Amino acid sequence: VSPSRSAVALTWVVRCATCGYETAPEELRWRCACSGLLDLYGPAIDPTPKAGAPWSLWRYGAALAPVALQGAGKVTMGEGMSPLVPAPADRSVGTSTRVWLKLDYLMPTLSFKDRGAAVLIAAAAARGVARLVADSSGNAGHAVAAYAARAGIGAEVFVPKGTSASKVAAMRRFGADVRVVDGSRQDAAVAAMQRVEETDAFYASHVYQPLFVHGTKTFAYEVWEQSAGRFPATVVIGCGNGTLLLGAARGFASLAQAGLIDRVPKLVAVQSERCAPLLGRTPHGRTAAEGIAIASPPRRDQIVEAVRSSSGEIITAAEADLLPARRELAAYGIDVEPTASAVWAAFGAWARRPEAFEEGPVVVALCGAGAKSPGDLPRLS
Q: Which residues bind Zn ion (CB under 5 A)?
A: 16, 18-19, 21, 32, 34, 36
Query: What is the smallest separation between the CB atom of 29 and Zn ion, expressed in angstroms?
Result: 10
Rounded CA-CA distance 157/139 in Å is: 11
**CB-wise, 33 or 77, nearer to Zn ion?**
33
What's the farthest any 2 CA atoms get from each other in the chain? 57
Provide the Cα torsion 10, 11, 12, 15; round to 10°.
-50
Angle at 253 between CA 247 and CA 257, to 5 degrees: 145
Query: What is the smallest separation between the CB atom of 31 and Zn ion, expressed in angstroms?
Result: 8
Sequence letter at residue 371: A
Rounded CA-CA distance 197/174 in Å is: 24
**CB-wise, 301 or 376, nearer to Zn ion?**
301
Query: What is the smallest separation between the CB atom of 244 and Zn ion, expressed in angstroms?
Result: 25
Which phi and psi (to 5°) does residue 236 adopt? -105, 125
Angle at 292 between CA 185 and CA 154, to 5 degrees: 50
Angstrom distances, CA of residue 109 to CA of 67, 79, 167, 182, 230: 23, 9, 10, 25, 29
Which residue, 171, 374, 180, 189, is CA-closest to 288? 374
Q: What is the DSSP string of 203-246?
A: E--TTT-HHHHHHHTHHHHHHHHHTTT---SEEEEE-SS-HHHH
Query: What is the smallest separation between the CB atom of 247 and Zn ion, expressed in angstroms?
Result: 22
Query: What is the smallest separation between the CB atom of 309 and Zn ion, expressed in angstroms?
Result: 22
Which phi and psi (to 5°) does residue 234 adopt? -140, 140
Angle between helices 165-173 and 139-151 (to 10 degrees): 10
The answer to whether the Cα torsion of 229, 367, 178, 137 is positive or negative is positive
Query: What is the smallest separation between the CB atom of 206 and Zn ion, expressed in angstroms?
Result: 20
Rounded CA-CA distance 273/377 in Å is: 16
CA atoms within 13 Å, Cβ hemisphere of 340: 30
The answer to whether the Cα torsion of 247, 9, 74, 299 is positive or negative is negative
**CB-wise, 13 or 62, nearer to Zn ion?**
13
Rounded CA-CA distance 171/155 in Å is: 9
Mapped onto helix, strand or coil, the DSSP state of residue 355 is coil
Which residue, 152, 129, 106, is CA-closest to 204? 129
**CB-wise, 36 or 183, nearer to Zn ion?**
36
**CB-wise, 39 or 328, nearer to Zn ion?**
39
**CB-wise, 21 or 357, nearer to Zn ion?**
21
What are the residues facing 271 on neighbouring strands? 316
Query: What is the smallest separation between the CB atom of 4 and Zn ion, expressed in angstroms?
Result: 10
**CB-wise, 37 or 367, nearer to Zn ion?**
37
Query: What is the smallest separation between the CB atom of 32 and Zn ion, expressed in angstroms?
Result: 3
**CB-wise, 18 or 257, nearer to Zn ion?**
18
**CB-wise, 35 or 381, nearer to Zn ion?**
35
Query: What is the smallest separation between the CB atom of 216 and Zn ion, expressed in angstroms?
Result: 23
**CB-wise, 19 or 377, nearer to Zn ion?**
19
Query: What is the smallest separation between the CB atom of 18 and Zn ion, expressed in angstroms?
Result: 5
Rounded CA-CA distance 334/88 in Å is: 9
